[in-house]
A and B are shown apart, each in its own frame.
Chain A
Amino acid sequence: MSTGLSLGIGVALLAVGTYAIRLAGPILRNRISVSAETEALMDRAAVVLLVAVALTGALFVEHDFAGWARPAGVAVGVVAALLRAPLAVVIVLAAATAAGLRALGIA
């Protein structure tokens, strides 16, 4: 267990640093005037980031493969989304699939 002071410094660093990273985007974005094409580019970049977060989150726990249950659950959720299921259904199906596979002993 770390001491209170070093924990406080760590939390402050993480909180202030994260806020600075977040604030930099809107400030830069609103300082410069951007063309419609650049704007589309930034939106596309955000989607690429989201997909990368979803894919790595579906497949990995830190640096290692997460096992089959999690990606299988995510895949079922994605199929449901492609079939235009509501978001709540997507989430419940993904979680239920992963939980069900684990209950059957498939990690």
Chain B
Amino acid sequence: MFTIVVMRSAWRTLDAATLRAVVVMCLSVLVIGASYGVAAHGAGLASWQIVLIATVVLAGSSEFVFVGVIAAGGAPVVGALAGLLVNTRNFGYGLSVGKYLRGPSETLLGAHLINDETAAMTATEPDPRRARAAFLLCGLGILVCWPAGAGLGAFLGSVVAGPEALGLDAAFPALLAALAIPALRSGATWAAAVVGGAIAIASTPFLPAGLPVVGALAGFAGVEVMRRFIHGREPSAGPSSPTGEARRDHEVRR
């Protein structure tokens, strides 16, 4: 019931372009889910286990890490801890998108929908009503498409061509980058992303999976401290919205 009401109001709030973006996002999640299903199948998991894990964890990259550890003969608990490290960034997303979840039941249900895709759809959307609708619709779409894709991959197994041969490994980073671009037109966000991105790239060869991304936030904190230091006693120096300058671009793009 909750789902139906949310879907209907979300549907009415969103414009055609945002809906298209959500559909494209969900379709690519379906395909990436299939490649996860193939990998999990190869690691010796049964189809029902693969779909169950995809549903209750609902965090793609951590599931790849989890399954990878198991495939290499590692203990599942070790895989789970590595996966949790990968998922720490969802705390940061939750701080941003949490404002769109109203009341205890919506918070409890909506929290499960926090991930890269919903954060990308939401944190870059300046209009609060559309941001909330995009979050819920995209989140529910992924809740369906990720496990469905995983089940499809598990079922088809090696029949599916390798995701690399189809270039699908390039699709997801491109998708996230494309969604982040409007917000990056703001100078402060751009500077923070450059410093944070550089830290993440430089530390990836050395740190366990997940930590480099969290390390990017340390760079972000550094940039913010610098900004405050430079602007000194002008509290209004910073832009009040990270997407302020990008707002008009964004409307047009979508």
What 0/1 readout, one digit per residue, does chain A (1-30) give for beta carbons within 8 Å of chain B? 110001101110111011101111111111
- Choice from A6, A37, A51, A90 contacting B76 with Cβ under 8 Å: A6
Q: Is B98's CB under 8 angstroms from A58's CB?
A: no
Q: Does A104 contact B (CB under 8 A)?
A: no
A91 touches B171 (CB 8 A): yes
For residue B110, CB closer than 8 A to chain A, the reply is yes
- Report whether B170 and A77 are in contact in the complex, using a CB–CB cutoff of 8 Å: yes
A104 to B28, CA, bound (A): 24
B140 at interface by CB-CB < 8 Å: no
Q: Does B175 contact A (CB under 8 A)?
A: yes
Tell whether A24 pairs with B96 under 8 Å between CB atoms, given A50-B116, A78-B178.
Answer: no
Decide if A30 touches B107 in the complex (CB within 8 Å).
yes
CA distance A72 to B220 in the complex (A): 26
A87 & B25 in contact (Cβ 8 Å cutoff): yes
Residues of B within 8 A of A9 (CB): 76-77
Tell me whether B94 and A23 are in contact (CB under 8 A).
yes
A13 to B77, CA, bound (A): 7
Q: In chain A, what residue has the closest Cβ to B170?
A: A73
Bound form: Cα–Cα A77–B181 in Å: 12
Q: Which of under 10, 10 to 19, 20 to 34, or 35 or more describes the interface residues of A?
A: 35 or more
Per a CB cutoff under 8 Å, which of B28, B70, B94, B224 touches A24? B94
Q: Does B81 reach chain A (CB closer than 8 Å)?
A: yes
Measured CB to CB, the closest approach of chain A to B158, in angstroms, equals: 18
Interface flag for B167 (CB, 8 Å): yes
**Number of B interface residues in the complex (CB < 8 A):** 99
Asked if A88 and B20 sit within 8 Å, CB to CB, the answer is yes
Q: Across the interface, do B66 and A53 meet the contact criterion of CB distance under 8 Å?
A: no
Q: Mark B112-144, 1 if CB is under 8 A from A, else 0.
A: 101010011001100000000000000000000
CB neighbours of B57 from chain A (8 A): 11, 14-15, 18
A90 to B21, CA, bound (A): 11
Name the residue on B nearest A107 (C-beta).
B164
Indicate whether B90 reaches chain A with its CB closer than 8 angstroms.
yes
Could you tell me if B94 and A29 are in contact, using CB atoms closer than 8 angstroms? yes
A interface majority secondary structure:
helix
Residues in A with CB closer than 8 Å to B193 are 47-48, 51-52
In the assembled complex, B7 has its CB within 8 A of some CB on chain A: no
Report A-chain residues with C-beta under 8 Å of the C-beta of B204.
56, 59-60, 63
The answer to whether A91 and B94 touch across the interface, beta carbons within 8 angstroms, is no
Residues of A within 8 A of B10 (CB): none
CB distance from A86 to the nearest CB of B (A): 7
Tell me how far the C-beta of B183 lies from the nearest C-beta in chain A, rounded to whole angstroms.
5
Chain A: minimal CB distance from B250 (Å): 11
CA distance A9 to B75 in the complex (A): 10
Most buried by A among B70, B164, B184: B164
- Chain A residues, CB < 8 A from B14: none
Given contacts A69-B167, A96-B167, A102-B164, contact A27 B107 (CB under 8 A): yes
Q: Contacts A25-B98, A52-B197, A58-B170 known; list 5 others, CB within 8 Å.
A: A11-B49, A52-B200, A53-B61, A78-B174, A98-B164
Question: Could you name 18 residue pairs across A and B whose Cβ atoms are closer than 8 Å?
Answer: A2-B75, A18-B90, A45-B192, A49-B93, A50-B179, A53-B213, A54-B180, A56-B201, A57-B61, A58-B177, A69-B167, A70-B170, A73-B174, A77-B177, A84-B252, A87-B20, A93-B174, A102-B165
